[in-house]
Each structure stands twice: as C-alpha cells, then as structure tokens.
Amino acid sequence: MTRAGAHVVGANCGVGIDHAVALCRAMTGSTDRPLWIKPNAGIPELVNGEVVYRTDAETFAAYVPDLVAAGAKFVGGCCGSTPEFVAAMRRRLGR
C-alpha cells in the first residue's frame, strides 16, 4: 500500500483487539506511513438469533495504550464497538 501511494495504512475488523497489538507491531516495521487500527470487539456469536460480541468497552480500551505504543496513530473500533467503546478509549488515554 505504501508503494501504491497510500497516505495512511491500517487494519480493520479481524479477530478481536487482543490480536491487534501484534498486528500493529508487524505493520509498523513494514511502512513509514501512519497506522490506522480499527479492531472489532471479538468474534461475533449468534445467541438466540442476535449477534453478540463478548468484548466489553473497558476490556477493549485496556489494549489502546499498547496499540499507541506499537505505533498506531489512529485507533477506532469496528464490528461490535459502540460510542461507549470510544468513550472508554478516550478515558484510558486521558483525553
């Protein structure tokens, strides 16, 4: 993506935020572009006909400082995240 002219590169969704830190570290070594990381809140499960994500906002937010330390310049949430997740991430970062 860097060679193709991307201004920012990143990863979206995936298997959950618990895997995002290692992915971010690997991507940091592959590009000089800012990294955008938007993990999901875990693998979706179908429970009584409804999609459920098992990672809660505070657990999700606990990984954010490590993502920033690994090189992420933009951090967000994908599937299963809500405005509550964004608020928890801001609190965790002291913003």
What's the pTM value of the predicted model, to 2 decimals? 0.89
Average pLDDT of 79-84?
A: 96
Overall domain count for the chain: 1
Whether residue 4 lies inside any domain: the answer is no
> Is pLDDT at 95 greater than 80 in this prediction?
no
Whether residue 86 lies inside any domain: the answer is yes
Whether residue 31 lies inside any domain: the answer is yes
pLDDT of residue 64: 96
- CA atoms of 36 and 10, how far apart (whole Å): 4
Pairing state between β 50-52 and 9-12: unpaired
Q: Is the CB of residue 11 less than 8 Å from the CB of residue 39? A: yes
pLDDT over 70 for what percent of the chain? 100
Q: Which domain holds residue 33?
A: 20-42+51-92
pLDDT of residue 71: 96
- CA atoms of 29 and 87, how far apart (whole Å): 29
Phi, psi (5° rounding) for residue 90?
A: -65, -45
pLDDT of residue 2: 82
